[in-house]
Amino acid sequence: MAAAKVFLAGGNTVKVPTFLVPATQKVWMDIYTLEVPGSGGKTCSKIFEEAGCDPPASPSCAACMGGPRDTYGRLNEPKVCVSTTNRNFPGRMGHIEGQVYLASPYTAAASALTGFVTDPRKFL
């Protein structure tokens, strides 16, 4: 819900590829059913779609595990990533030279809208 609120307030589309992997099955279902306050009845999934995010994946370890090259959201090149995962060490999300910055959902969403690490308060 935090990221949806930032995307809603931002009013534009993301500037970088934005992957969404909910933590639990319940959160995944809530993304498609709960209305975001102040959105005029929109669900998180609708707001994410309008912002240009990839559709939310089912709950899994996904990119935070590194996994094979085809793992959803994995860094296969030395890129920069803002992530809401809970671990950060070289190679954790894929490429050993990838730069991973851990952030809150608010900061991750604001950063997706601007294309660089961004203080979310300007969107709240």
Q: Model confidence over 50-92: pLDDT tens digits?
A: 999 999 988 988 777 777 788 888 889 999 999 998 888 888 8
Whether 33 and 43 have beta carbons less than 8 Å apart is answered as yes
Q: What is the pLDDT of residue 119?
A: 98
Instruction: Report yes or no: 22 and 72 within 8 Å, Cβ to Cβ.
Output: no
Per-residue pLDDT at 64:
74
pTM: 0.91
Q: Is 65 exposed, middle or buried (0-12, 13-18, 19+ CB in 10 A)?
A: middle
CATH number of 2-114: 3.30.499.10
Q: How high does pLDDT run on average in the chain? A: 92
- Reported as a pLDDT band with limits 50, 70 and 90, residue 6 is very high
Residue ranges of domains in the chain: 2-114
